[in-house]
Amino acid sequence: TGKVVGFIGLGNMGIPMTTRLVAAGYQVRGFDSSPAAMANFTAIAPTESGGAAVPVDSLGSAGEGADAVIVMLPDSDIVERVILGRLASEPPSAPGGLLATLPPGTTLIDMSSSDPARTKILARLTAQTGVTLIDAPVSGGVAGAKAGTLAVMVGGSAESFERFKPMLSAIGKRVVHAGDVGAGHAVKALNNLMSAANLLISCEALTAGQRFGLDPAVMLEIINGSSGRSANTENKWPNYILTGTYDDGFALRLMVKDIKLALAIEHATGVPATASEAVATAWESALADLPPGADHTAIARWLSTRPEQ
Ligand code: NAD
């Protein structure tokens, strides 16, 4: 594959991910509907390896000369509107969106945490014009994106996986073929459900421990050497919760989206989901109570300030 790639969605994750691609020598043609995001992208310096951030002024020119266009957008509604110019569930209109501008043979790589069922449908639609869609969502947060250590879970053919593995390796350390298209999005949603469940439990347990008289830092030192440890106790608690900053860079509303996607997979597959349903209820209450832009780590503040029961 060539060294030109389109990239749509230059937000919290898109900026560090495109920075990694530029560092690896890619010419990244970036587009975002937000002027502030475009300014952040334009500020990425070119590299000696030939990498450069090339801002483009329309969706339509992002794919020029590129084998692949990556999208890193909030959710499936926005992914469909960007790619098709409409929701996939709406009747076809005049050609619009990114897809109409891409020559056959181009690959679309959806690195957002999208709905796996909708990803499968979208892949069938793009295939009608000779464009292959694969999913390659990530885990590891903004810090992992900056360090290039993300986990990348790829859904698509083995051929597509092999073809884009080198490029995805510029973004992530562990690039795994999850299965057919949609498989990456499915495992991503299920992973985040587990992460959300664990963060919620850690908030309940650490708040209880604190009220019992324990120092949270001491509790974390003990738990991180014990069986209750997780990415939340090892990373999010010390870096974003005990600091009082709540600025991990992953919005609470996006976490709630992922929990709902995972719950839909559990319901569709007939899994008894009592714990997942309780997790979803708590996170949805936090979303309703906290300010709109709240970071997902603010669930700790929300939990500890709820009325006692
Ligand atoms: P974000 O909201 O920071 O960035 C999304 C970007 O998309 C914004 O810059 C926005 O302006 C742009 N955008 C929205 N609509 C657009 C449109 N129609 N055309 C062009 N650009 C448009 O979100 P994020 O935190 O970067 O997350 C992106 C995706 O990655 C989400 O699906 C999220 O769940 C997932 N994710 C996030 C993290 C994290 O730690 N932040 C980690 C893993 C996965």
pLDDT single digits (tens) 59-80:
999 999 999 999 999 999 999 9
Regarding whether 148 and 292 lie in a shared domain, the answer is no
Regarding whether 159 and 104 lie in a shared domain, the answer is yes
- 73 CA from centroid of ligand 1 (Å): 4
Residue 2 has pLDDT above 90, yes or no: no
Mean pLDDT of the chain: 97
| Active-site annotation holder among 3, 146, 173, 188 | 188
CATH of the domain at 199: 1.10.1040.10
Residue 151 has pLDDT above 80, yes or no: yes
Average pLDDT on 252-277 reads 98
Please, which pLDDT band fits residue 10 given cuts at 50, 70 and 90?
very high
With respect to residue 309, please indicate whether it lies within any of the assigned structural domains.
no
Cβ of 38 less than 6 Å from ligand 1:
no
Which pLDDT value is given to residue 39? Answer: 98
Please state, in angstroms and rounded to a whole number, the distance separating the CA atoms of residues 199 and 240: 12
Please, which pLDDT band fits residue 1 given cuts at 50, 70 and 90?
low
Regarding whether 203 and 80 lie in a shared domain, the answer is no
Average pLDDT on 114-120 reads 98
Regarding whether 202 and 80 lie in a shared domain, the answer is no
- 253 CA from centroid of ligand 1 (Å): 11
Tokens read off for 112: 């957002």
Please, which pLDDT band fits residue 260 given cuts at 50, 70 and 90?
very high
pLDDT single digits (tens) 123-149:
999 999 999 999 999 999 999 999 999
Cβ of 62 less than 6 Å from ligand 1:
no
Regarding whether 251 and 121 lie in a shared domain, the answer is no
Which pLDDT value is given to residue 271? Answer: 98
Please answer whether residues 7 and 18 qualify as being in contact, where contact means their C-beta atoms are separated by less than 8 angstroms.
yes
Regarding whether 152 and 35 lie in a shared domain, the answer is yes
How many domains, the chain? 2
Cβ of 23 less than 6 Å from ligand 1:
no
Which pLDDT value is given to residue 96? Answer: 80
Which pLDDT value is given to residue 171? Answer: 97
Please, which pLDDT band fits residue 280 given cuts at 50, 70 and 90?
very high
Q: What is the DSSP string of the chain?
A: --SEEEEE--STTHHHHHHHHHHTT-EEEEE-S-HHHHHHHHTSPP-TTS-EEEE-SSGGGTTTT-SEEEE--SSHHHHHHHHHSS-TTSPP-SS-TTGGGSPTT-EEEE-S---HHHHHHHHHHHHTTT-EEEE--EESHHHHHHHT-EEEEEES-HHHHHHHHHHHTTTEEEEEEEESTTHHHHHHHHHHHHHHHHHHHHHHHHHHHHHHT--HHHHHHHHTTSTT--HIIIIIIIIIITTS---SS-BHHHHHHHHHHHHHHHHHTT---HHHHHHHHHHHHHHHHS-TT-BGGGHHHHHHTSPP-
Please state, in angstroms and rounded to a whole number, the distance separating the CA atoms of residues 61 and 290: 38
Regarding whether 137 and 197 lie in a shared domain, the answer is no
Regarding whether 277 and 150 lie in a shared domain, the answer is no
Residues 6 or more apart whose Cβ sits within 8 Å of residue 50: 3, 25, 27
ipTM over 0.85: yes
Which pLDDT value is given to residue 78? Answer: 98
- 117 CA from centroid of ligand 1 (Å): 19
* This prediction's pTM: 0.98
Residue with token string 């959806």: 110
Say what percent of the chain tops pLDDT 70.
100
With respect to residue 147, please indicate whether it lies within any of the assigned structural domains.
yes
Regarding whether 100 and 56 lie in a shared domain, the answer is yes
What angle in degrees, to the nearest 10, is found between the helix axes of 274-289 and 252-268?
150
With respect to residue 132, please indicate whether it lies within any of the assigned structural domains.
yes
CATH of the domain at 117: 3.40.50.720
To the query of whether residue 188 is one of the catalytic residues in this protein, the response is yes
Residue 94 has pLDDT above 80, yes or no: no
Q: Of 179, 203, 229, which one is at a domain's C-terminal end? A: 179
Q: Of 179, 204, 227, which one is at a domain's C-terminal end? A: 179
Domain region containing 240: 187-304
